[in-house]
Structure 1
Amino acid sequence: MAAGYKTAEPLEYHRSFLKENCRPDGRDLLEFRTTTLNIGSISTADGSALVKVGNTTVICGIKAELANPAVDTPNKGYIVPNVDLPPLCSSQFRQGPPGEQAQAASQFIADVIESSEVILAEDLCIVREKLCWVLYCDLMCLDYDGNVMDACIIALLAAMKTTKLPEVTINAETDAPEVNLAKKSGLQIHKHPVGISFSVFDNSSLTVDPTAEEENFSTAHLTVVVDEEGRLCSVYKPGGTSLSEEKLQECISRATARQREIQKLIDKVIQSIKEAQ
């Protein structure tokens, strides 16, 4: 009976749960799905992580390459994020050039990196005006069930914290770079940004960590990113109904609590790998 009701009247089906302050998957409105993390998932990458938020699965691989700094920023390197939402993760995505959602996600991740100062571009400069690192951060969604933004940010942060780069010097005689693979060091992580996404239903009910189905029925989406100091780093809201200042403040408070949980999870996984080595 319930399955038939869900098929015939999917929106009313969801509303019936919201009236009872719960959701079809059994969660409270402000309850997250189980989040799991694995690091070192890609052996050929300089740093990598795989994150699952419920069924949503994202893998991040970071590859570092040497390049020349830009003329207008001679003391900075580059961080180039790219989010891929291929057809294999959901039937809603198609083959071909990146769609609008993938492009928006890539731009949002780039904004988070810059605004949060998780890594400073200056730290990637090896020799001013001559040599710097470029970090290509590729994020691929393997299974899409909503809330891909949160999963991407967690995967990116975890991958960055495990990335190790070799020592590079400039040969004084040939002026060519020399790479010492035997001596590697980690990136300097200045901040730990974590995102939390919300969906708004009927301009009133606020839910965290929405599934793909919940995203389809919502009237607005919102992703809030904060760091370990509770500083608001970025807000992503692609249209939809507006939120009151009170609702926005509630979102920020929830994000601050979530940030502590995720940072603790990342540190715990990294520590367990170190102890096992």
Structure 2
Amino acid sequence: MGAPNAAGDWSSEMEVDAFRRLFPLCYFERHLSESIRPDARPLKRARDTIVSLGAVASSDGSALAKIGSTTMLAAIKMEVMTPSVDSPDEGSIAVEFHMPPICSPVVRPGRPAEVAPVISKQLFDSLLSSGMIDLKELSLVKGKAAWMAYLDIYCLDADGALFDAALLSAVAAFSHLRIPVVSLNDEGRVVVVSKELEGEKLVKEPVNEERRKLSLNSIPFSLTCILHKNYILADPTFEEESIMETFITVVLNSSGQLVSLYKPGGPVLAHTSAIQECIALTKHRMKELQEIIDEAISIMEVD
């Protein structure tokens, strides 16, 4: 009796898989009609999220962030630069988002992913417009020296909601950042003090006497939602994004203010109620993400 049942179950699984491949939208809509998704999540629930700090020992700040299977590795390297004439008392940040071929079957070797520069620009805009980083805090000597924070984010697994995971990894990396010690040499130039030289007497007083944290304010968090008919799906997977074309990404700062709203493609939204609900979902998600980062920081401090 056991063998026929096993064979029947196997046949049934094959039929479901075939239906999913041939009619993906119908397959998903059958689940949506029952207010559940194929991965067993309620429509408005995000995937399990993990943040780990200090993933790259050679960086000045780093973090690994996972939302479901979507995985991002962010690392920050600090370098001394000459500030611009227009902003002599400010430093700067540079953001690069990378999608190597290992992250997804749709990314081909030798062909940069088209979405990578778009996400890089969105990340840069979100980090600055949110007010999280005070660029004046990156100044060393007005008009002569300031910090440039190079932020590189590598997508290791692209399973949907890429911007959300990338922004989370960026925020976590800046939370882990420790600004290096610098001093003035004999020629009056600002130089980074290596670990080997930290105990030696310098010719002139250090500009900053110890590795310090960067003060973060109005931290930005985001949530991507798919809008399909009367349904709202929070934190979509790659499969969901490829099937349902209308989605928006809401970015809020920790003060609850709207930083930005991205809506690439899809039909024009006729009602604002859907956007308002997405904003409300983002506020709830923001609290979850802040708790996750706080926990990661506490674990790092204990270690």
What's the TM-score bracket when you normalise by the shorter of the two chains?
A: over 0.9
| Equivalent position to 2:268, from 223, 228, 242 | 242
Q: Letter of the 2:189 partner, please give it.
A: A
- Which runs of 5 or more residues in structure 2 are unaligned? 1-14, 199-209
Alpha-carbon deviation of 1:275?
1.6
Q: Report the AA paired with residue 194 of structure 1.
A: F
Q: 2:298 aligns with which of 246, 267, 271?
A: 271
1:118 and 1:98 map into 2 onto residues whose CA distance is: 29
Q: Is the 8 A contact 1:227 1:256 kept in 2?
A: no
Percent of aligned pairs sharing the same letter: 34
SS at structure 2 position matched to 1:126: strand
- Give the superposition deviation at 1:241: 2.0
CA contact (8 A) 2:65 2:168 kept: yes
Structure of larger gyration radius: 2
The corresponding residue for 1:254 is: 281
Letter in 2 for 1:29: L
Q: For 2:42, which of 5, 24, 28 is the aligned residue?
A: 28
Give the TM-score normalised by the residue count of structure 1.
0.95
Aligned residues: 274
Shift of 1:4: 1.5
1:74 corresponds in structure 2 to: 88
- Alignment partner of 2:47: what SS? coil
Pick one of 136, 144, 147 that aligns with 2:158. 144
Question: For residue 175 of structure 1, what is the amino acid of its counterpart?
Answer: G
Q: Is the alpha carbon distance of 1:8 and 1:95 closer, same or farther for their aligned partners in structure 2, counting shifts above 3 Å?
A: same
Inter-partner Cα distance in structure 1 for 2:190 and 2:148: 15
Q: Which residue of 1 aligns with 2:77?
A: 63
1:38 aligned onto 2:52: yes
- For residue 212 of structure 1, what is the aligned residue in structure 2? 238
**Alpha-carbon distance between aligned partners in 2 of 1:120 and 1:241, rounded to the nearest angstrom:** 37
Q: Does 1:125 align with 2:139?
A: yes
Q: Following the alignment from structure 2 to structure 1, what is the Cα–Cα distance between the partners of residues 22 and 272?
A: 36
Q: Any idea what SS the aligned residue of 1:122 has?
A: helix
Letter paired with 1:24: P
Structure 1 residue 164 and structure 2 residue 178: aligned? yes
SS in 1 for 2:104: coil
SS class of match (2:250): strand
For normalisation by structure 2, the TM-score amounts to 0.87
Q: What is the CA-CA distance between 1:22 and the residue it aligns to? A: 1.1
Deviation at 1:242, TM superposition (A): 2.7
Is contact 1:167–1:179 with CA below 8 Å preserved after alignment?
Answer: yes
- State yes or no: 1:174 paired with 2:200: no
Given that 2:78 and 2:180 are in contact with CA atoms closer than 8 Å, whether structure 1 keeps it comes out as no
Alpha-carbon separation, structure 1, partners of 2:224 and 2:288:
15
Between the aligned partners of 2:134 and 2:109, the Cα distance in structure 1 is: 34
Q: Which amino acid aligns with 1:258?
A: R
Q: Secondary structure at the match of 1:88?
A: helix
How far has the Cα of 1:97 moved from its partner?
5.7
CA contact (8 A) 2:60 2:180 kept: no
Could you report, residue by residue, the CA deviation over 1:114-136 in whole angstroms, capped at 9, with x for unpaired residues? Answer: 11011122211111110011111
- Tell me, what secondary structure is at the counterpart of 2:166? helix
Aligned twin of 2:3: none
> Match for residue 217 of structure 2?
190
- Which stretches in structure 1 are left out of the alignment for 5+ residues? none
